[in-house]
Structure 1
Amino acid sequence: MGTSPSTTLVIPGKPRPYIMAHRGNSIECPENTLAAFRRALADGADILETDLHLTADGEFVCIHDATVDRTTSGSGPVGALTLAQIKRLSASYGRAGFEIERVPALREVAALLPPDVALALELKTDRFLEPDVCRQLVATLDECGIRAQTVVLSFSLSRLQAVQAAAPDIPTGLITLNNPTPAPPVALLGPLWPLLLLNPFYVRQAHRQGKVVCPLDVQSERRARLYQRLGCDAMMSNDPGALARALGRTPPPT
């Protein structure tokens, strides 16, 4: 992966559009678990997307919500629980056969990441406005050896700017629900997919600015041909295997 807007999602040896696994394969497995990420890799995902929170003892964990209530057997805010407390909870999301799954730490997901697969981290808390937290995130990525494979995402431009202040080389991506023009000063744009219908020149305009586009659409397999015609650089899905099939790709050998 490169560091300029035009090369944010250049993954050597992988054809565009890249397949982004939204919370792993969250159709076949509980979302944001190691099982979901392993399945997504087996499906041929080029990018693993996950969500990032900070525990009470300062550990980065991959969970979407601000509380553990919806996806685990416990309750309470993620930020009020230690990593050890969170690790006691099942992250099966009530699905049989996945009871042993736990909320993974960022380091655990990093350990799964092949060298030719990128990691997209959505910053889910304003803790990422704190310079010390951003520096800690960068240090963790360095320790895990995945800094060059990482892009940070958010609905908040301020969070992205805080990370960029700590590490200007890490690409940033802004997710938007209502802006039909590719104006934000980031390398990657994630517009809610109907915005591409509202402005069919969105991708072309983004490319002229050296930006790449991945529509916010967790069922991209339903609209894969549209996104290909528009020239989208990546597509996301809760079911990366279905998206791979829609793109006519075969899964990697196991």
Structure 2
Amino acid sequence: MNGPRPLVFAHRGGAGALPEHTLAAYLRALDEGADGVECDVRLTRDGHLVCVHDRRLDRTSNGRGRVSAKTLAELEELDFASWHPAAATEALQADHVRLLTLERLISTLRDHGGPVRLLIETKHPSRYGAEVERRLVEMLHRYGLAKPKPNDPIQVTVMSFAALALRRIRRMAPDVPTVYLLDIVPPGVGRGRLPFGARIAGPGISLVRSRPQLVSALRAAGHQAYVWTVNEAPDLDLVLAQRPDGIISDRPKFVLDRLENVPPV
């Protein structure tokens, strides 16, 4: 490859190896050399930001109902690990597979040592609307992450499929980079335009398969591009040919190992 290799991000902490959005997954991804990690955040009924992808609890816990209808205390009573195959084969520390709050994730990344990038996706639609971004920016200010400096141990980027959410971040924390996530090509984006507030394009792998020149077009227009969720060898080869800036994967070690063996061009 010409130039630096793309950054590799562990999607939901590296959901292929360990239960997604658990501290166990994030710590393993860091130990395996991931450049950064990705998480989704939702607000609980009592206003806490928690790392859960789905609107409902059914898939990744033994609970039922919506995350937004539960208090933090109620969510902390649930099992967020047993559904994953690794729970039956690995000795996972109990404290590392419980519900993960964004605050605990940030604290862990800060204490882990070494620079790390954190991609935070705000999930919409949400019954709490703009409160999700407001609470997030408050937390970034509290940890000194809303005005990033080159030597900060954690570099935060906010992502969303909702252009309005990115506008809110741009207004409240203009120095924080933002990614506009794409599963379709809205008008103008195919020619390299991104909505106001977005600084990085985030096309999904299905979109890249159907529009194999999209990443190149976005980069030619001066935008960075992070592609998600790249888990298989043919997809990785397709994406690498477009020279993306970042690759988000459930299998970060697989991507890192492949990158080590990619011959220069």
Q: TM-score, normalization: structure 1?
A: 0.83
Q: How much does 1:32 deviate?
A: 0.7
- One-letter code of the match for 1:109? L
| Residue of structure 2 in register with 1:238 after alignment | 250
Matches within 5 A, 1:142-221: 142-147=141-146, 148=148, 149-179=155-185, 181=190, 182-185=192-195, 186-219=198-231, 221=233
**C-alpha distance in 2 between matches for 1:172 and 1:83:** 27
CA distance 1:131–1:28, change in 2 (3 Å): closer
Query: Is the Cα–Cα contact under 8 Å of residues 201 and 225 in structure 2 kept in the other structure?
Result: yes
Q: 1:103 aligns with which of 99, 102, 106?
A: 99
Query: Is the Cα–Cα contact under 8 Å of residues 55 and 80 in structure 1 kept in the other structure?
Result: yes
Query: Is the Cα–Cα contact under 8 Å of residues 5 and 259 in structure 2 kept in the other structure?
Result: no
CA distance 1:247–1:145, change in 2 (3 Å): same
Q: Give the paired residue count.
A: 235
SS of 1:218 mapped into structure 2: coil
**C-alpha distance in 1 between matches for 2:249 and 2:143:** 26
Which stretches in structure 1 are left out of the alignment for 5+ residues? Answer: 1-14, 250-254
Stretch deviating more after TM superposition (218-227 or 232-241): 218-227
**C-alpha distance in 1 between matches for 2:242 and 2:210:** 13
Matches within 5 A, 1:223-234: 223-234=235-246
Q: How much does 1:129 deviate?
A: 7.4
**C-alpha distance in 1 between matches for 2:229 and 2:131:** 33
Matches within 5 A, 1:132-147: 132-147=131-146
Q: How much does 1:77 deviate?
A: 1.2
Query: Is the Cα–Cα contact under 8 Å of residues 46 and 117 in structure 1 kept in the other structure?
Result: yes
| Residue of structure 1 in register with 2:124 after alignment | 125
For 1:161-192, what per-residue CA distance to the aligned partner results, in whole angstroms no more than 9, with x for missing partners?
A: 12222112111111112217132232111112
**C-alpha distance in 2 between matches for 1:85 and 1:194:** 36
Query: Is the Cα–Cα contact under 8 Å of residues 49 and 122 in structure 1 kept in the other structure?
Result: yes
CA distance 1:109–1:23, change in 2 (3 Å): same
Query: Is the Cα–Cα contact under 8 Å of residues 56 and 80 in structure 1 kept in the other structure?
Result: yes
Identity of aligned residues (%): 33
Q: How much does 1:29 deviate?
A: 0.7
Q: How much does 1:51 deviate?
A: 0.5
- One-letter code of the match for 1:116? P
**C-alpha distance in 2 between matches for 1:161 and 1:112:** 28
Q: 2:31 aligns with which of 39, 42, 63?
A: 42
Q: How much does 1:209 deviate?
A: 2.9
Q: How much does 1:215 deviate?
A: 1.8
| Residue of structure 2 in register with 1:89 after alignment | 78
**C-alpha distance in 2 between matches for 1:247 and 1:83:** 40
Which stretches in structure 2 are left out of the alignment for 5+ residues? Answer: 149-154
